[in-house]
Amino acid sequence: MPRTVDHEERRSMILKAFMAVAAREGLHAVSLRAVAAEAGISLRSVQYYFDTKAGLMQAGLAALEKLSNERVRTRLEALEPSPSARTTLQALFAVALPTDRESRRFHLLWTSYAMLAMTDPEISDRTFVDSPNRLQERIAFILEEGKSSGEFDGALNGELEATILISLIHGLGTAVLVGQQTSESATSSFEHYLDRLAGAKSGNG
Amino acid sequence: MPRTVDHEERRSMILKAFMAVAAREGLHAVSLRAVAAEAGISLRSVQYYFDTKAGLMQAGLAALEKLSNERVRTRLEALEPSPSARTTLQALFAVALPTDRESRRFHLLWTSYAMLAMTDPEISDRTFVDSPNRLQERIAFILEEGKSSGEFDGALNGELEATILISLIHGLGTAVLVGQQTSESATSSFEHYLDRLAGAKSGNG
DNA sequence: TTTTTTATGATACGATTGTACCATAAAAAA
DNA sequence: TTTTTTATGGTACAATCGTATCATAAAAAA
C-alpha cells in the first residue's frame, strides 16, 4: 500500500475522524491521539498528513467551510428553476437551521472555531468575516432580484435588509442549537418576518 | 490573616482572575495554575475555594450570568422614568452589543460556555435556555406595553416578535464580536428594524 | 535485482494538567 | 496558655499532550 496513496483521500478520511471527535467531545478536547484512534490509524500517520496539531486545526476549519458551501449549493440546486426570492431565502434559512445531526455538528464546530479564533492567532479570524460577508452579498443579490420582479418594494434597502436577515438567520440558528427555540418556532418566526418584509411595500419613511 | 476571611470576597477575587485568563487565552486554556498566578495566590488556594476545576468552571458561568444581569439592570435604571418601549428596546440592544472590552469579554465567554455545555455534561445547558427565555419574556412584556400605549399595533404578535427580536439582537451581537459588522452598521440595522416594527401598524394579513 | 523513496508503526521526551497530600502560620476557642 | 480550627504554601503523582526520533515494510525507480 505505501508509495502511491491518495493523499487527498487520506487527509479527508482523517478529517472525517477529526470532525467526529470534535463534535462528540468538543473542539477543545481534540487530540492527535483521539483522532488517530477514531480513524483507526497510528498517531504517526496523523502527524504525517497534517504535520502539527495547528495544521490539523486549520485543515479542520477549511473542511468545515467547504462542507457548508456544498450543503448550501446542493440545497439551492434542488429548488425549482427560477425560484422566487422568498423560496430562495427559505432554502437558505432551512439549510442554516441546525435540525439534522450533521447540521448541528456544523453549527457547534463553526461557532467553537469562531470563539477559538478570537484568542488563538493560529486560527484565521478572517474566515468568520469573509464567509458571512459572502452569504450577506448573496442575500442582498436575492433581495435585488425580488425587487426587480416586484416581489419586494423597490425602495427596500437591500444592504440593510441583508444584514438583518443574515443576523436573524444566525441568531435563530444558535437559539435552536442550544435548545432555546424549537425548529418550528424558529421557522414560524422567520416566515412571519418574511411576511412583513414582503408586506411592507410602502416602506416607513 | 487566616481564620475569619471573607469567603465570598475571596471567591469573587479568584473569579475575577478566572475571567481575565479566560478572556485573554480562551476558555479552553484556563488552568488552575494560570488562575492562581493571575490572582497572585497559590494553586492550593484556588483548590481550597473551588475544590475542583469543574467547581471553578461552574462558578465562572454563574458569575458571568450575574454580571450580565447587573449590566442590564444598571442600563435600564439609567433611563428616564417611564421610558417608551422603543427606548427600552434600544437600551437592551445597546447593552447586548459587544462594544466595550467588558462586553466583548462577556460575549466571548458566554458563547464559549454555550458551546462547551453541548459536549460537557458538567456545565449546565439549562442556563442557555433559561437565561434567553427570561430576556425574551421581558421583551414580550415591553412589546405588550408598547401595544397598550399605542406605540405598536395592537394586533402585533408579541411572542413571535420577541423571538425575532432576541435572535436579531444576539445575531447582530455575534456579528459585531467577530468583526463582520461594525457597531454602527449593527445599530443602523436594528434601528431600521424598529422603524418597520413601529410602522407596520396595520399588519400584513 | 539493487537502491531509493514513501508511508507507517512504535516509542521516548519534556511540558502541563488536575488532584491529593503534608506541613504550618495564624487566629479563635478552651 | 494550650488546643483546635482555618487558610495557605509547597510539592509529589499519574495522566495526557504535542512533538521528535528511529526503524521498517512496501512499492517505485534504477
Q: Each residue of A105-154: pLDDT tens digit? A: 999 999 999 999 999 999 999 999 999 999 999 999 999 999 999 999 99
- pLDDT above 70: residue A159: yes
- What are the helix (H) ranges across chain B? 7-25, 32-39, 43-50, 53-77, 85-96, 101-117, 127-148, 158-178, 183-199
Which residues, by CB, come closer than 7 Å to strand C? A 1-5, 7, 10, 41-45, 48-49; B 1-4, 29-34, 43-44, 47, 52-54
Instruction: Using alpha carbons, select from A110, A17, A112, A115 the residue that is nearest to residue A65.
Output: A110
Q: Tell me, what's the pLDDT at A202?
A: 38
What is the overall mean pLDDT for chain B?
94
- Comparing alpha-carbon positions, the chain B residue that sits nearest to A175 is B167
Cβ contacts (< 8 Å) between A192 and chain B: which residues?
A: 157, 160, 164
- pLDDT above 80: residue B203: no
Nearest Cβ partner for A204 among B177, B199, B205:
B199
Q: What mean pLDDT comes out for the span A59-83?
A: 97
* Secondary structure element (H or E) that encloses residue A175, with its range: helix A158-178
Task: Answer whether CATH 1.10.10 is correct for domain A1-51.
Answer: yes
The nearest CA of chain B is from the CA of A65 a distance in Å of 16
- What are the helix (H) ranges across A26-126? 32-39, 43-50, 53-77, 85-96, 101-117
Instruction: Give the burial string for B26-53 (b: 16+ CB within 10 Å, else e).
Output: bbbebebebbbebbebeeebbeebbeee
Q: B42 and B36 in contact (C-beta within 8 Å)?
A: yes
Q: Does residue A30 lie within 7 Å of nucleic acid chain D, judged by its CB?
A: yes
Band of pLDDT at residue B3, cut at 50, 70 and 90:
low
Q: Is A24 on the interface with B (CB under 8 A)?
A: yes
Query: How far from the centroid of its chain's Cα atoms is residue B134's Cα?
Result: 12
Q: Does residue A43 lie within 7 Å of nucleic acid chain D, judged by its CB?
A: yes
Q: Is A155 on the interface with B (CB under 8 A)?
A: no
Q: Tell me, what's the pLDDT at A5?
A: 80
Q: What 3-state DSSP class applies to B64?
A: helix
Nearest Cβ partner for A115 among B108, B170, B171:
B108
Q: Is A73 on the interface with B (CB under 8 A)?
A: no
Q: Does residue B29 lie within 7 Å of nucleic acid chain D, judged by its CB?
A: no
What single DSSP character describes residue B124?
Answer: -
- pLDDT digits 0-9 by tens, A12-50: 999 999 999 999 999 999 999 999 999 999 999 999 999
- For the structural domain made of A67-199, what CATH number should be given? 1.10.357.10
Question: Which amino acid, one-letter code, is at B181?
Answer: Q
- Comparing alpha-carbon positions, the chain A residue that sits nearest to B22 is A119
Q: Is A111 on the interface with B (CB under 8 A)?
A: yes
Q: Is B192 on the interface with A (CB under 8 A)?
A: yes
d(C-alpha B62, C-alpha B186), whole Å: 28
CA B28 to C1' D5 (Å) is 37
Q: What mean pLDDT comes out for the span B103-114?
A: 98
The nearest CA of chain B is from the CA of A82 a distance in Å of 26
Q: Is B137 on the interface with A (CB under 8 A)?
A: no
Q: A84 and A151 in contact (C-beta within 8 Å)?
A: yes
Band of pLDDT at residue B5, cut at 50, 70 and 90:
confident
Residue spans per domain, chain A:
1-51, 67-199
Overall fold of domain B61-199: Tetracycline Repressor; domain 2 (1.10.357)
Cβ contacts (< 8 Å) between A170 and chain B: which residues?
A: 171, 174-175
Q: A30 and A21 in contact (C-beta within 8 Å)?
A: yes
Q: What mean pLDDT comes out for the span B107-113?
A: 98
Q: B19 and B105 in contact (C-beta within 8 Å)?
A: yes
- Phi first, then psi, for residue A55 (nearest 5°) are -60, -40
